[in-house]
C-alpha cells in the first residue's frame, strides 16, 4: 500500500510553491514559480503547473490539494472573497483549480489559518488544546486554536490579531489604514520603523550605515549584541510593543503556547527572553508565566504543511481524526 499524501500550496504575492506533504506533516518535494502577473487566470496557470509537477513526481497516493492564500476566503467553496494582496474580489479559486484537477479534492483557506493548523498539528503546538501562532514578517499573520478547534469566526475573520490597535495615538500607520495596529508596531516592518523613528537620537549609529535594503531584524540584532545603543533602543521599543500585543492575546485566548514565527523570530532567545518579563508585567487576570512563548518550528513551510493537512482531513480540522481500527 502506498502512503497517503496531499499537495500543500503556499500562494503568496510574489511566488507560488507546491509541496508533497505526508500524513506526519513531512515535506517530500517542493516546486516553486515566481508570480509577476496577478490576473486570476495567470495565477491559476502558475499554480496548476507547480501542482502538476508535485503530483507527477510524487511516490505517494495523493488524496487532495490544499491551498493557503492571503485574503478572506470561504473555505466551503474556496472562493476568495477579498484579497488586497492580489486585488481580487470574489475569485472562485477553488472551482478554477477543481476544473484543472477534477480527480482531486481541492480545499482553499487563508494562509495564516493554514500555517496555524500546520504548526498545531505537526509543529510546536502539538499536545496543546489552546494555541496561538503569530508570524512576525512583513505583517503579522496568525491564528487561534481554542479548546482543540481552529477559530474561524462568523465571517472567517477570527485570528486577525495583527489588526488590533495597541498604539492608536502614537503608532505607525498600518497597511489597513488604522494607526498603531499590532502589525504596524511588532512585525518585521515595525522593527525597522522603530529603528527609523529613533534614528535622530543616535546620529552616530552604525545602523545608519547599513544600506536600507539590508536593514532587517538580523542586522538590528547583531548591532544590539555588539552593544550599539541605537539598536538596543530599537529592540527595547519593539519588545515593549510586542509584549503589549502578546498580553492582549493572553487575555483574549489564554493559550498554553504562543508560537512566534517569521523573520523576526530568528532572533530567538535574544528577543523572547526580553519579551517574557514585559508580558508578565501586563498579564493580570491569568496566572503569570503560564503561557509558554516559544519559537515556531516549521518556518516558511507551516502554510503548505497546514494546507495539505486540511486537504487530507477535509477541512481546517485541528484534531486528527481517530484512527479506524
The contact set with Zn ion (CB under 5 A) reads 163, 174, 176, 178, 181
Q: Helix or strand or coil: residue 245?
A: helix
The Cβ-side half-sphere exposure at 211, using a 13 Å CA radius, reads 2
Minimum distance, C-beta of residue 71 to Zn ion, in the bound complex (Å): 15
**Alpha-carbon gap, residue 14 to 225, rounded angstroms:** 33
C-alpha cell belonging to residue 239: 519588545
Minimum distance, C-beta of residue 164 to Zn ion, in the bound complex (Å): 8
Query: 194 and 215 in contact (C-beta within 8 Å)?
Result: no
Task: Name the residue among 261, 260, 232, 231 with its Cα closest to residue 246.
Answer: 260
Comparison of 70 and 118: residue with beta carbon closer to Zn ion: 70
Minimum distance, C-beta of residue 203 to Zn ion, in the bound complex (Å): 32
Comparison of 183 and 301: residue with beta carbon closer to Zn ion: 183
Task: Name the residue among 112, 66, 95, 104 with its Cα closest to residue 313.
Answer: 66
Comparison of 176 and 226: residue with beta carbon closer to Zn ion: 176
**Alpha-carbon gap, residue 300 to 18, rounded angstroms:** 12
Minimum distance, C-beta of residue 159 to Zn ion, in the bound complex (Å): 14
Comparison of 67 and 174: residue with beta carbon closer to Zn ion: 174
Minimum distance, C-beta of residue 102 to Zn ion, in the bound complex (Å): 39
Task: Name the residue among 161, 146, 129 with its Cα closest to residue 247.
Answer: 161
Comparison of 104 and 172: residue with beta carbon closer to Zn ion: 172
Q: Helix or strand or coil: residue 296?
A: coil
Comparison of 76 and 153: residue with beta carbon closer to Zn ion: 153
Minimum distance, C-beta of residue 218 to Zn ion, in the bound complex (Å): 25
Total residues belonging to the chain: 325
**Alpha-carbon gap, residue 283 to 251, rounded angstroms:** 7
Comparison of 174 and 304: residue with beta carbon closer to Zn ion: 174
Minimum distance, C-beta of residue 88 to Zn ion, in the bound complex (Å): 19
Burial class of 322 by CB neighbour count within 10 A (0 to 12, 13 to 18, 19+) = exposed
Minimum distance, C-beta of residue 82 to Zn ion, in the bound complex (Å): 15
Task: Name the residue among 302, 305, 312 with its Cα closest to residue 8.
Answer: 305
Comparison of 57 and 157: residue with beta carbon closer to Zn ion: 157
HEC per residue, 97-120: HHHHCCCCEEEEEEHHHHHHHHHH
**Alpha-carbon gap, residue 18 to 63, rounded angstroms:** 14
Amino acid at each position: 500500500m502506498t502512503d497517503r499524501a496531499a499537495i500543500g500550496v503556499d500562494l503568496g504575492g510574489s511566488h507560488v510553491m507546491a509541496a508533497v506533504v505526508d500524513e506526519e506533516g513531512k515535506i517530500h518535494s517542493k516546486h516553486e514559480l515566481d508570480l509577476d502577473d496577478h490576473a486570476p487566470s495567470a495565477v491559476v496557470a502558475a499554480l496548476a503547473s507547480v501542482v502538476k509537477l508535485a503530483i507527477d513526481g510524487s511516490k505517494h497516493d495523493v488524496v487532495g490539494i490544499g491551498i493557503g492564500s492571503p485574503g478572506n476566503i470561504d473555505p466551503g467553496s474556496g472562493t476568495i472573497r477579498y484579497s488586497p494582496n492580489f486585488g481580487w474580489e470574489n475569485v472562485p479559486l477553488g472551482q478554477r483549480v477543481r476544473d484543472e484537477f477534477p480527480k482531486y479534492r481541492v480545499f482553499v483557506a487563508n494562509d495564516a489559518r493554514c500555517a496555524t493548523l500546520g504548526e498545531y498539528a505537526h509543529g510546536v503546538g502539538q499536545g496543546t488544546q489552546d494555541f496561538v501562532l503569530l508570524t512576525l514578517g512583513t505583517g503579522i499573520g496568525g491564528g487561534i486554536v481554542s479548546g482543540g478547534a481552529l477559530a474561524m469566526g462568523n465571517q472567517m475573520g477570527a485570528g486577525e490579531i495583527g489588526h488590533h490597535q495597541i498604539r492608536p495615538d502614537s503608532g505607525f500607520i498600518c497597511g489597513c489604514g488604522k494607526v498603531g495596529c499590532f502589525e504596524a508596531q511588532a512585525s518585521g516592518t515595525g522593527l525597522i520603523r522603530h529603528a527609523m523613528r529613533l534614528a535622530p537620537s543616535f546620529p552616530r549609529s552604525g545602523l545608519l550605515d547599513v544600506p536600507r535594503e539590508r536593514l532587517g531584524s538580523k542586522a538590528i540584532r547583531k548591532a544590539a549584541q555588539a552593544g550599539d545603543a541605537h539598536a538596543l533602543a530599537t529592540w527595547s521599543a519593539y519588545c515593549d510593543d510586542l509584549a503589549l500585543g502578546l498580553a492582549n492575546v493572553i487575555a483574549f485566548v489564554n493559550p498554553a503556547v504562543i508560537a512566534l514565527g517569521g523573520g523576526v523570530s530568528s532572533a530567538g532567545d535574544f528577543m523572547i527572553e526580553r519579551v517574557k518579563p514585559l508580558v508578565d508585567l501586563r498579564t493580570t487576570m491569568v496566572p503569570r508565566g503560564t503561557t509558554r512563548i516559544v519559537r515556531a518550528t516549521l518556518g516558511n513551510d507551516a502554510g503548505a504543511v497546514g494546507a495539505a493537512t486540511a486537504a487530507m482531513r477535509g477541512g481546517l480540522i485541528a484534531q486528527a481524526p481517530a484512527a479506524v481500527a
